Amino acid sequence: MSTLQDYYPTDCPFCKIATAYPSSETSPIPSSPDPEKLDPQCHMILSTPHVLAFLDILPIAPGHILLTTRKHYRTLGDLHNDDEAKQDAQALGEWLPLLSRALCKVTGIEDWNIVQNNGERAAQVVPHIHFHFIPRYQEGRRDVGGKMGRLDPGMAKSWRMFGRGTREELDDEEGLEMALRLREALGREVGMGGKAKL
């Protein structure tokens, strides 16, 4: 029998986010989530009974998104064959393309990585299953709004692999704007026939 502690370990930052931002019965995309519910701020994009998406607080590039399960699983191997784990896995799969399309529309990128690490030696920093959506900006391209934020311009031009290069703290004002635009784009994706699980 699972306990609340099994669902949301108190030392897990993603479980703290899941607790602070419960899902809504009306929409999987929060209309105006308060980023200051947590410290550091959380810029929420998606909140369903099964999955959450928010901006990475140490982005590799502007628009770096994390998609995670609401329930605590350490790695993909922990998604067992019970009904709840199957629903969580299905929700991850359904939201991956919707978030990808929203990210491309907001940032104007054509290329991006989706990375999922399992375990410490595989560069998993937070021991809670999550996928990284990392925009790869084309050489010479300016990001949306004509500013690169706090990103090292050399990183925007590189083909460096995930986990290498400079990661700077997310600027909260830029995060607020980016999350709003991503929620709007994701809402359009869902409205265009996206049948992702709420």
Q: What is the pLDDT of residue 195?
A: 52
**Is 72 considered catalytic here?**
no
* Residue-wise pLDDT tens digits, 138-196: 764 444 554 444 444 444 444 455 555 567 899 999 999 999 999 999 999 998 654 55
**Choosing from 43, 50, 64, 130, which is the catalytic residue?**
130
User: For the ranges 86-95, 133-142, 143-152, which has the lowest average pLDDT?
Assistant: 143-152
Task: Give the CA dihedral 110, 66, 184, 190, nearest 10 degrees.
Answer: 90
Confidence of residue 5 (pLDDT cuts 50, 70, 90): very low
**Packing angle between helix 172-191 and helix 83-107, nearest 10 degrees?**
110
pTM of the model: 0.83
* Residue-wise pLDDT tens digits, 48-61: 999 999 999 999 99
Q: What is the pLDDT of residue 10?
A: 67
* Residue-wise pLDDT tens digits, 14-33: 999 999 999 998 999 999 99
Contact 187, 29 (CB under 8 A): yes
Q: What is the pLDDT of residue 149?
A: 46
Is the dihedral angle over the CA atoms 188, 186, 144, 39 positive or is it negative?
Answer: positive
Side-chain-side CA neighbours of residue 74 (13 Å)? 9
Q: What is the pLDDT of residue 142?
A: 45
Give yes or no for residue 102 having a pLDDT over 80.
yes
Q: What is the pLDDT of residue 155?
A: 47
Q: What is the pLDDT of residue 81?
A: 87
Domains of the chain in start order, with CATH, are 4-191 (3.30.428.10)
